[in-house]
Structure 1
Amino acid sequence: LNEGSFFNLQMQLNFFLPHFKLYDFADRHNADITRMIFRVANIPYEEVLIDRNNEWQQLQREMPLGTLPVLEIDGHKIGGTTAICRQLAWRFGLSGETAADDSIVDMLADFLHEAHISLKSWINAIQNVNNSEQDVESLDKMASHYVSTRLGPVLEKHLEKNGTGFLVGGKMTWADLMAVSFFNKLFDSGREGFISAFPLIKQHYQQIAPIVLPPTKFNDKLNEDTLPIALTA
């Protein structure tokens, strides 16, 4: 295809796409993974940012689970991070290549989402969400222990077993994006030492983050010699 034909094809595809509307709080911390999926798939979407203090109480009753993020697809609202991600992954080719692979993708994505929930207080503290005044030092110890004893060993094992640079199969899935979303918090806050014992996790992040994170978000502390891997192995 020449440049003009490609542009016309893209316009036609966009015409037939549903209208995606993403609801998140104004601090934009709740829907990182959803934005990554849209970015990787190169799909346009509308974003509605809601003020926690002035707007949320009124809008909460309109949301299917009373929480954010919420994705609206042609007027149909879906609540819950993993439900949203599964829907978009299915649409945009970020699910597993086989039924068996997809079950592992779901398992690891749920495992990573569990980590986000378990460490929510720590994440809020290091990102200063709601002007968090919690004891960061004690939360750091808790988070470091969680990563070193639970999260890290499991993901390192799967990366070693799979051997493709991805968590599952031979292509990028939304489980890889969930991993980048979590570990980006370590790199953004200078806590990459939490994964010093897990070289494959660090390599996975260094290779995939440049693909899925916006340029202004990608941490320049990464090894400058690291090259992004392709979307498939």
Structure 2
Amino acid sequence: MPGYATKQESIAVAGVDDLIIRSLLDHQQFSDPDGEAEHLGISSATWPLFGLLWPSGAELAARMGSRVLCPGERILEIGCGLALASLVAHRRGSDVTASDCHPLTGGFLRENLRLNDLLPLKYRHGHWGAPEALPGEPARTPRESVEGLFDLIVGSDLLYERDTHADLAHFIGEHASASAQVWIVDPDRGNRPAFNKQMAEQGFSRTEERLDHPARPAQAAYKGRLLTYQRQT
């Protein structure tokens, strides 16, 4: 047994066949026997967040299922968690890379690819504001980090913590191509205004679209917005 409990469920996203998703059973799960998550700054309280399906992630996946495909574009999902949006884009044939900092994300992604008979999907370690290694700390397993530039960078519910050093905006700016677009689905977090200012300092203009809708069959009500940032050339 891995030390945590999981479940499987079928998730419907318009534009693709239903996806079978393996997730954590609930938000009470925790297993970090080697302290790897702690080393990355992931507390016991935030440890299970990667392995749950969240409303904003479903909204992003829906948008990825309905958008017009652009041949040759490179897509990066940041803070992907269970990577539902990446799986949708991958199933539609896009060149997508999923990224997260949680040590179990890659394993869950591989299992969800297997459950859906999908070809391998690129996964990279993406960690903005990563803690510095302490003197005398034992070496950790090397990870393939996000590299290169992307034409579309997407993420959902990323603004739940204060980011006084603008680490997220700098990370996005580092990996955005000269004419990149960035999509962030945000459930009206209070840190949004500061992030908007930080993205403007990185050379991005912004538009916003409300995503509010009442409860629908098999879908809960949602209140939030799609933040679209366009890099100015």
Q: Which has the higher strand share?
A: 2
Rg (Cα) greater in structure: 1
